[in-house]
Amino acid sequence: MSDLKKIKDDFLLKLEKKLSLADINEIKTNLFGKNGLISSQFKKIGSISESEKRKFASELNLIKNELQNKINSKINEIQSEEINKKLEKENVDITLPERTFVQGKIHPVSQTIDEISSIFSEIGFSVEEGPDVENEYNNFTALNTPDNHPARDMHDTFYLDEKKEKLLRTHTSPVQIRTMLKDKPPFKIIAPGRTYRSDSDQTHSPMFHQVEGLHIDKNITMGHLKGCLNYFIKEFFEVKKIKMRFRPSHFPFTEPSAEVDIGYEIKDGKMVIGEGDKWLEILGCGMVHPNVLKNVKVDSSNYQGYAFGIGIDRLAMLKYGINDLRAFFDCDYRWLNHFGFDPLDVPTNYRGLSR
Ligand code: PHE
């Protein structure tokens, strides 16, 4: 038997046995390593006579390939055996309950603030912010609210010091003052945020939310105010027609002042906004008082405009059918899960403005 044939037969036999990956590696080195049996046969080619060379080389190549193929298939065999063993040992119990997956929800108030901001930003309002802790001047005095005004009563306002200079803002109107003090007219802003009053029952919470609106320019009239609010309410409630009523009212910082009611009816136990003969108050508004403009150094003979303050929680309750205001602030996870919004699936009139 030629050397080549012997190598081949010996090794094919070895490769039939039960082997580990380490054994295979050893065989590989023995055959194809630097001084391996096959490698040294290749080195021989140079010294073989011309007549034998071709035959020897082709036989050597065939044997080399055969052994290599055998080694490769043996490696595959060993690897898949190992995987199978592993799978048998580490089997997955598909009857186990899944791990709980908790997805956060957007609070209805945050959602409503987003919607309000989106709607107003489309008609040219920018969003301003002010602090929850205000000074007495911005919250009252600059807003033409004299010292003896009932809104300053201890029962309504949370004062933070004995001198009553610092307080939790009772409305978002001080943001009007802050905005007009830091810039020059025209102004066209909304200011959503938290507000505080010492009051608590099913429809009042000591902390609640308002959105302030302020539009000051040359020739702004009550007509603009009505048009703007009408547009907003229709967009917000996603209705084509809305019944609105401007009722004369009083705020120290607007003249004339009005409260706005919207029409609704109860159909099949549900509140339908826009039609009907019942009225619901949703906001206060008016033309900014010249004294307010004077306090912030805006020339009221040249500039004028309107302001409004809307109760955000009220709007959220109406739109999303929530009947107890206090639930908003109870931090009950089950409630939020039910009334909250999926961050990836927000309602239709959300226009993508971020908080
Ligand atoms: N600040 C008023 C309130 O809290 C609402 C309001 C704002 C009224 C702006 C008129 C103009 O009741």
Question: 193 CB less than 6 Å from ligand 1?
Answer: no
Q: Residue 51 belongs to what domain range? A: 2-89
Structure tokens at 293: 């403009």
Phi, psi of 307 (to 5 degrees): -140, 155
Residue 271: inside a domain, yes or no? yes
Total of domains in the chain: 2
Instruction: Give the pLDDT of residue 353.
Output: 46
Residue 60: inside a domain, yes or no? yes
Instruction: Give the pLDDT of residue 1.
Output: 54
Instruction: Give the pLDDT of residue 191.
Output: 98
Residue 345: inside a domain, yes or no? no
Q: How far is the CA of 274 from the centre of ligand 1 (A)?
A: 23
Contact 195, 210 (CB under 8 A): yes
Nearest-angstrom CA–CA distance, 325 and 12: 84
Instruction: Give the pLDDT of residue 350.
Output: 52
Task: Tell me the average pLDDT of the chain.
Answer: 90
Residues 80 and 152 grouped into a single domain: no
Q: If we measure between CA atoms, which residue out of 311, 305, 252 comes closest to residue 281? A: 311
Residues 16 and 160 grouped into a single domain: no
Residues 81 and 134 grouped into a single domain: no
Residue 348: inside a domain, yes or no? no
Would you say the pTM of this structure is higher than 0.85? no
Instruction: Give the pLDDT of residue 115.
Output: 95
Residue among 173, 260, 306, 315 whose CB has most ligand 1 atoms within 8 A, to mutate: 173
**In the chain, which stretches have pLDDT less than 70?**
1, 151, 154-155, 346-355
Outline where DSSP puts E strands in 178-231. 187-196, 207-217
Residue among 171, 175, 194, 282 whose CB has most ligand 1 atoms within 8 A, to mutate: 171
Task: Give Cβ neighbours of residue 275 (< 8 Å, ≥ 6 apart).
Answer: 241, 243, 263, 264, 265
Question: 196 CB less than 6 Å from ligand 1?
Answer: no
Q: Which residues pair with 135 in a beta bridge?
A: 166
Instruction: Give the pLDDT of residue 355.
Output: 38
Nearest-angstrom CA–CA distance, 234 and 344: 25
Nearest-angstrom CA–CA distance, 250 and 259: 8
Residues 113 and 77 grouped into a single domain: no
Residues 124 and 30 grouped into a single domain: no
Residues 85 and 234 grouped into a single domain: no
Question: 305 CB less than 6 Å from ligand 1?
Answer: no
Question: 175 CB less than 6 Å from ligand 1?
Answer: no
Q: How far is the CA of 306 from the centre of ligand 1 (A)?
A: 11
Residues 85 and 121 grouped into a single domain: no
Residues 323 and 183 grouped into a single domain: yes
